Chains A and B, each alone.
Chain A
Amino acid sequence: MSTDRTDVIVGIDLGTTNSLVAYADERGPRVIYTSGDGVPDNGMVPSVVAIDPAGGGVEVGASARRHAIERPEVTVYSIKRLMGRGFEDVQGERGRLPYRVVRRPGSEGRDIAAVEIGDRVYSPPEISAFVLADLKRRAERHFERPIRKAIITVPAYFDDAQRQATRDAGRIAGLEVVRIINEPTAAALAYGLDRTEEATVAVYDLGGGTFDVSILRLAGGTFEVLSTHGDTHLGGDDFDWEIIRLVQQEVRQRFGQHLEFPPATLQALRNLAEAVKISLSGQEQVTFEIDLGEGRTFHRQLSRSELEKMIEPYVQRTLDSCTRALADAKLATGQIDQVVLVGGSTRIPYVRRRLEQYFGRQPYSALNPDEVVALGAAVQASVMAGMKREVLLLDVVPLSLGIETLGGAVAKLILRNTRVPCQATEMFTTFIDGQTSIKLTVLQGERELAQDCRSLGEFELRGIPPMPAGAPKVQVTFLIDQNGILHVSAKEQRSGKEASIQVIPAHGLTRDEVRQMEKDAYAHAREDMMAHRLIDVRNQVTFDTAKTEQALAKAGPTLDADLRRRIVEAMANLRKMAETATDPEALNQALQDFDRMTVPLAEHAVAQALKEAQWERHE
């Protein structure tokens, strides 16, 4: 697909907790601080989607989050944790999420975690697409034109399935995802723009649900990732849950072990825990009270040091990741010139303190850690749009890629932290005479056994010419592109025949499924557009009829009585129609007719005004 040079490309940070959209112009990157309805805000759209199971529509962002307590079972948050994951993978998450997580039906041979609301099942890309569509609308409002292209950021440690799911979400939202970039790399882009001297930087990105660390070498506009490590299930959410668990435990000790926490209470507790955590970044202790009903009140004072003790194991895990990333980059902590902080959770003083001890230098956070990833995505967007040539981004693949061999072992083809794009080729043959297809299981991960790695799916090479067993030589090329997404192609060497490849993604959607969702979403968007248009036309009817009423009053007895009667009648009809209309275009037509009919009234008003003016002049 060729890219239209005039198209705006936006940069999107699709976060676990919040999402932002940014763009870059000649003055640099900036976040869009106005909602799709033109309301100014802080640019952060909570990654929350509330779906009315009765078919009443979808709310996104702050308005959806307000429903979280009243209707927790239809309010979806932290969907990023389910992206590209199997139902089996997310068992640990289920207890935390008040909405229903199920195995997506109709996905033979695959295992996809999905969300059930009412009688509909939504895959994670569909939920994320609602957030993306909201960000798209923001950008469209800002630019006053359709936006079709975006760069979306993902945690550096996202595997192929999680990246594909993110790209699918973009597609469902009507966005061509021209590039997926890693969040820490994006942050470095936002920071390192004007840097000319060479420096080695560690980007420490602790967000709501994910953690990444990337080691980069920056020199004259080149952003070269040396290594990356992380955990796609470690973030500020975990700290909240430590507080929630503590409260639950103590509440039960006091009021009885049988005490249940229904979804609404759990949601309230979640909001409280987050607020407590944030407060403890600024003050030494926080006092809170929970009304449990029936005259039971739980009162607690929590100190910063208590919180620090609770989150210590998590912070230690992030430092272990730093150690691995440094080892892979063949660097010591002393060789890092700067430690850059990204993500809301790096506001926690304990995180900063431990990092400072670890690296032996004060971490750096000149830019808002919530915005820096979106800003970096916008910088890359201007590179992709051909506006900027001085930036060169060289990133790596976070996880090794391999294939399952006989006996369940893994043959690694591409090692982790290999620069992308990269490719590996491997020869395969047949075991049976006349065999025309070969099945491969492709895996990502560092472990030696296939069962300990993540399966990306089954690739079936078809169309191999029938030959005796062992005779075909099928050369399979595994290419990981600059986005960290795998492409597989195969060729039978003796016949030179290109083998076709049927892919069954282990945890992902097929191309046809994504296409169908895209179509459905487009239809929904049309419905939404109709609803918006109807509201607009109705408002215009109210406005025009009110003006006509004023004009009629002002015209007084000089207006032709017959004309007056006809206008009053038409006005009543139009108002009645506006109340019941479902088709905005029909209503608009009626409005146009009405406006035409009131032209003589307007002319009458003008003539009268002229007469008055002349009269004034004569005086």
Chain B
Amino acid sequence: MTNPDAPERVMPDESPPATSRTSAPAPATAAALATPAVQGAKTGRSMSLEGLRAFYGDSQAIMGVDLHYAANEVTAMIGPSGCGKSTVLRCLNRMHEEIPGARAEGKVTLDDLDIYGPGVDVTSVRRAIGMVFQKPNPFPTMSIFDNVAAGLKLAGIKSSDTKEVVERSLRGAGLWDEVKDRLSQPGMGLSGGQQQRLCIARTIAVAPEVILMDEPCSALDPIATLKVEELILELKRDFTIIIVTHNMQQAARVSDTTAFFYLGELIEHAPTEKLFSTPEHPRTEEYVTGKFS
């Protein structure tokens, strides 16, 4: 759990009482976040960081970052190991605070809703902002079908037609044709690349606004990586995508804008082509040309 001395912005409890703080915008914010988005044709939402600082116990990992993630675009976050790009990503859906002793300060908004705002239910934040992890991690006790449906069940969404949602999600993740004849088989029986697309299907089943991806291809072979990258380009029509990657070619292939982090600070954020061809900051140039890593 989070540090008890955390400033009031951080809600250490999983479900803080909605009326615990009665600042004016809170109820509206909470209500907007708690309403599951309507499935089907929809657009993603933008996200913004204002003065984000993140800590692990006493050590500060993020030194105050301001960044805007445009709706329906792919934003890549790159940088050397330990630069804080994954920490920033985990602050975006409040998974950062799951690490014992970890806390975050500053403002993180989904459109104009403060996700760290008082009275905001953290489960509603995570429903609106889904996450795909580095290692494919289907639930080992569940079938392919149940893994996708688990998103709905775990989030407590009552769906009148789970079957339809599962099919649409698997199609959305480009996996339907490969698994439609063996939906009742265990999800762990799929290949690594298929497992990762299964996890993406699980994430989009709950109809989030934004999808966070934490090095989603680093455990995959080149062909599986290609499939996931093609999928990312398709997904951005419906979702805002924020991806952390240590692979600069991947960032160049999939993203619209790229943010370069170094030692917990945002060095530069620019359209991907510009960042890789004519970076403004010398540090960025050194990194993208491979002078250090």
Are these two chains actual partners, yes or no?
A: no
A interface, CB within 8 angstroms of B? none
